[in-house]
């Protein structure tokens, strides 16, 4: 008998019956140790607690029945098979099997117990039910996540063996449940267990483990933060004159919110500990200017700075902004993306390695292993939620071994609190809660496709006044190819309808050069109208664009629509956003779009979006960038988050052995924070 932590050091192959083949299948499920096995929890349960009288069965139910085989008949036809009639005291049930041959156990007169779904054929029947050995115990039967070649029974048998080795440990009771009691219960629930609670993952035994898992996640983020704080980092003294010079280049005065956030960052940079800060700010609040100020200070101090954005388009925009502002001060940035030509890349790599180049702006190409820096002091990541936590850590690892690079993360997607704790628990947070002055609110209009002709008039009028417009095509979960096609069709249609306008097109399937040149033409006002897919979602910044039309907005989340809308309203003119919905969208859809009409508050819209669509959707790809969780579901379990946080601080403070146990068990090999 051992506790779970000791079992995490015992290979699952120690269990009887686990040979190399089975071990390989278990490994596919990330099960290496006996503890991993025990933490592999059922995803569902079957109710096999009682044998049901046949007369009580209803179509659609899953049920266990037992009776005597009354008759047996071979079925003809392509699939062959056999039909048995099963009889109990009160009734008869037809069982159909494919590929079954007569044998003693299914011969008339033998007793049989089966489990399956009851269907209404010409009489009640079960199709290919599972044969339940009459000697197997009645109870709730756990159903585990499987991989090909692994069977529920084999997993259940292994689990029973593993449970025999598991000690009762009373040391970490929460709400009366110890960790091992909870595990034991979930693998082998009592006959009187509340099945409904179990199926909703709301049974106290499940809550016990979910809270611990969430706490473990918090603990590793907080520990990571503490670790970082202990490692030395370069100190930076801000220079007022430099900020002044930069503002002259930018041609505007920083807002109070921008200055406050710059102050918070500079304060951190002066401590000799690594900066770990998240800057949140709604679209258009001027995060780039904040980044530029911090960059300039770091460059003046002789550090190298890497600035990263999630797409080519964004990285390019960022590069141009920084070039315009910083080059006159003597800091000329370099650009690196996946499509930088090999020769240029090689030169740049050499310059970064010997320190002769101070500032590089780029995409995830900055993560590449052969990229090294002589003295990387600051990493800035724009639009963080597109990157994973692990990538954030990887880039930072490029700093010289003795020093930690300062890390600044910027995001325009306000992260609802519950999710923020999960993604950014290791970061301090600053909020830019003010837009630059003179911004006019964006008027949002919800309009049906039927009014397209009217809209064309408006578009024409807008552009004839020398203003520019975006037309955004959306597609749900479609491939990039389909999106591109939709945008191309839309472009052709608009060109035909509005021949007097200069109309450009940008989508994800174009070459990088094409995209860049179209964007440049739009920025230089050589185009009146830009037809685009959602590639322009973030970062694109053209102040003269005052009208945005979003086709089929019902296909996107509120947060994403808000991001898109943020592309207009950047200048001093009145701006408009037209949400051009397609088919009848229903009351719910209309209500959702109405939220956008009413609010321009990104935080409010993000919360609403999370409520309506869940975190997977919220982040685009499912939980991108979040640590994998075994049990917890960030949306379903949001209300457990504060309990988890409480537990995490308590265990961190106590610094007892349970701290390590909890972290190892729940994150173990999966932990992406496990760095020396």
255 binds, among ligand ADP, Mg ion, none (CB under 5 to 8 A by kind): ligand ADP
88 binds, among Mg ion, ligand ADP, none (CB under 5 to 8 A by kind): none
Distance of alpha carbon 543 from its chain centroid, rounded? 31
Residues 78-107 that bind Mg ion (CB under 5 A): none
Closer residue to Mg ion in complex, CB, 414/539: 539
CA distances 180 to 2, 15, 627, Å, are 10, 19, 24
Closer residue to Mg ion in complex, CB, 416/539: 539
Least distance CB 541 / Mg ion (angstroms): 7
Least distance CB 617 / ligand ADP (angstroms): 22
Residue 654: CB partners within 8 Å, gap ≥ 6?
Answer: none
Residue 186: CB partners within 8 Å, gap ≥ 6?
Answer: 41, 42, 142, 198, 203, 205, 206, 209
Planar angle of CA 35, 39, 44, nearest 5 degrees: 150
Closer residue to ligand ADP in complex, CB, 211/290: 290
Rounded distance, CA 144 to CA 45, Å? 9
Closer residue to Mg ion in complex, CB, 459/540: 540
Residue 454: CB partners within 8 Å, gap ≥ 6?
Answer: none
Strand order in 575-581's β-sheet? Answer: 442-448, 575-581, 545-551, 468-472, 529-532, 503-506
Closer residue to ligand ADP in complex, CB, 359/494: 359
Which backbone phi and psi does 346 adopt, to 5 degrees? -65, -45
Least distance CB 293 / ligand ADP (angstroms): 10
Rounded distance, CA 39 to CA 187, Å? 10
Least distance CB 541 / ligand ADP (angstroms): 4
Q: Which stretch binds Mg ion (CB under 5 A): 212-220, 439-447, 533-541, 624-632?
A: 533-541
Which residues are registered as beta bridge partners of 662? none
Least distance CB 538 / Mg ion (angstroms): 6
64 binds, among Mg ion, ligand ADP, none (CB under 5 to 8 A by kind): none
Least distance CB 540 / ligand ADP (angstroms): 9
Asked if 3 contacts 658 with a C-beta cutoff of 8 angstroms, the reply is no
Least distance CB 545 / ligand ADP (angstroms): 11
Q: Which stretch binds Mg ion (CB under 5 A): 333-341, 395-403, 532-540, 647-655?
A: 532-540
252 binds, among ligand ADP, Mg ion, none (CB under 5 to 8 A by kind): ligand ADP
Among the listed residues 388, 504, 539, 668, the single contact to Mg ion using CB under 5 A: 539
Measured over the CA atoms of residue 293, residue 294, residue 295 and residue 296, the dihedral's sign is positive
**Closest CB to Mg ion belongs to which residue?**
539
What mask of x and - would describe binding to Mg ion in positions 341 to 380, judged by CB under 5 A? ----------------------------------------
Closer residue to ligand ADP in complex, CB, 42/284: 284
What secondary structure letter does DSSP report for 366?
G
Q: Tokens at residue 63, please? A: 């049920």
652: part of which helix (H) or strand (E)? helix 641-654
Asked if 218 contacts 648 with a C-beta cutoff of 8 angstroms, the reply is yes
Least distance CB 382 / Mg ion (angstroms): 6
Q: Which stretch binds Mg ion (CB under 5 A): 220-228, 243-251, 260-268, 531-539?
A: 531-539
Alpha carbons within 13 angstroms on the beta-carbon side of residue 564 total 30
Residue ranges binding ligand ADP (CB under 6 A): 252-255, 258, 281, 283-289, 412, 436, 541, 543, 570
Closer residue to ligand ADP in complex, CB, 352/506: 506
Least distance CB 473 / ligand ADP (angstroms): 22
Question: What are the residues binding Mg ion (CB under 5 A)?
Answer: 539
């Amino acid at each position: 008998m051992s506790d779970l932590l000791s079992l995490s050091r015992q290979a699952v192959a120690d269990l009887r019956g686990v040979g190399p083949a089975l071990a390989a299948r278990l490994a596919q499920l990330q099960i290496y140790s006996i503890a991993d096995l025990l933490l592999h929890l059922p995803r569902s349960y079957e109710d096999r607690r009682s044998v049901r009288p046949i007369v009580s069965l209803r179509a659609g139910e899953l049920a266990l029945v037992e009776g005597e085989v009354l008759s047996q008949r071979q079925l003809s036809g392509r699939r062959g098979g056999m039909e048995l009639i099963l009889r109990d005291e009160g009734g008869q049930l037809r069982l159909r099997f494919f590929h079954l041959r007569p044998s003693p156990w299914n011969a008339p007169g033998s007793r049989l117990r089966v489990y399956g779904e009851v269907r209404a054929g010409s009489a009640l029947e079960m199709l290919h039910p599972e044969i339940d050995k009459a000697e197997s115990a009645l109870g709730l039967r756990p159903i585990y996540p499987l991989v090909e070649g692994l069977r529920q029974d084999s997993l259940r048998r292994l689990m029973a063996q593993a449970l025999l080795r598991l000690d009762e440990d009373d040391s970490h009771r929460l709400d009366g449940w110890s960790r091992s009691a909870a595990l034991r219960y979930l693998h082998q629930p009592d006959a009187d267990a509340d099945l409904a609670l179990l199926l909703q993952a709301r049974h106290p035994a499940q809550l016990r483990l979910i809270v611990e898992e969430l706490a473990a996640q918090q603990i590793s983020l907080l520990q990571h933060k503490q670790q970082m704080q202990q490692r030395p980092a370069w100190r930076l003294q801000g220079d007022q004159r430099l900020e002044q010079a930069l503002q002259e280049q930018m041609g505007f005065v920083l807002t109070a919110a921008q200055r406050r956030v710059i102050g918070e960052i500079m304060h951190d940079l002066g401590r000799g500990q690594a900066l770990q800060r998240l800057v949140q700010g709604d679209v258009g609040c001027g995060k780039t200017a904040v980044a530029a100020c911090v960059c300039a200070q770091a460059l003046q101090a002789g550090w190298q700075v890497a600035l990263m954005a999630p797409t080519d388009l964004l990285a390019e925009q960022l590069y141009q902004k920084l070039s315009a502002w910083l080059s006159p001060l003597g800091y000329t940035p370099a650009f690196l993306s996946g499509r930088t030509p090999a020769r240029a890349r090689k030169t740049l790599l050499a310059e970064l390695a010997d320190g002769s180049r101070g500032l590089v702006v780029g995409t995830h190409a900055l993560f590449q292993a052969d990229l090294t820096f002589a003295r990387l002091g600051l990493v800035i990541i724009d639009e963080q939620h597109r990157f994973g936590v692990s990538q954030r850590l990887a880039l930072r690892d490029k700093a010289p071994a003795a020093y930690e690079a300062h890390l600044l993360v910027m995001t325009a997607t306000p992260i609802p609190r519950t999710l923020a704790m999960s993604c950014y628990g290791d970061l301090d947070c600053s909020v830019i809660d003010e837009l630059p002055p003179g911004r006019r609110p964006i008027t949002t209009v919800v309009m049906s496709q039927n009014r397209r002709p009217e809209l064309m008039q408006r578009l024409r009028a807008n552009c004839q006044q020398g203003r520019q417009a975006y037309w955004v095509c959306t597609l749900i979960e479609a491939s990039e190819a389909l999106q591109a096609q939709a945008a191309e069709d839309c472009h052709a249609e608009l060109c035909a309808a509005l021949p007097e306008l200069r109309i450009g097109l940008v989508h994800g399937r174009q070459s990088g050069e094409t995209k860049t040149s179209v964007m440049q033409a739009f920025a230089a006002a050589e185009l009146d109208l830009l037809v685009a897919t959602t590639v322009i979602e973030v970062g694109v910044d053209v102040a003269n664009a005052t009208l945005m039309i979003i086709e089929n907005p019902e296909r996107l989340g509120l947060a994403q629509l808000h991001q898109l809308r943020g592309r207009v309203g950047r200048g001093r003119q009145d701006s408009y956003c037209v949400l051009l919905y397609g088919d009848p969208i229903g009351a719910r859809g209309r209500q959702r779009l109405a939220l956008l009409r009413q609010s321009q508050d990104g935080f409010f819209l993000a919360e609403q979006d999370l409520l309506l669509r869940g975190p997977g959707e919220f982040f685009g790809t499912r939980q991108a960038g979040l640590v994998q969780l075994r049990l917890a579901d960030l949306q379903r379990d949001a209300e457990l988050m504060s309990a988890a946080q409480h537990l995490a601080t308590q265990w961190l403070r106590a610094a007892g052995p349970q701290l390590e146990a909890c972290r190892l068990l729940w994150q173990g090999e999966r932990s992406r924070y496990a760095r020396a």
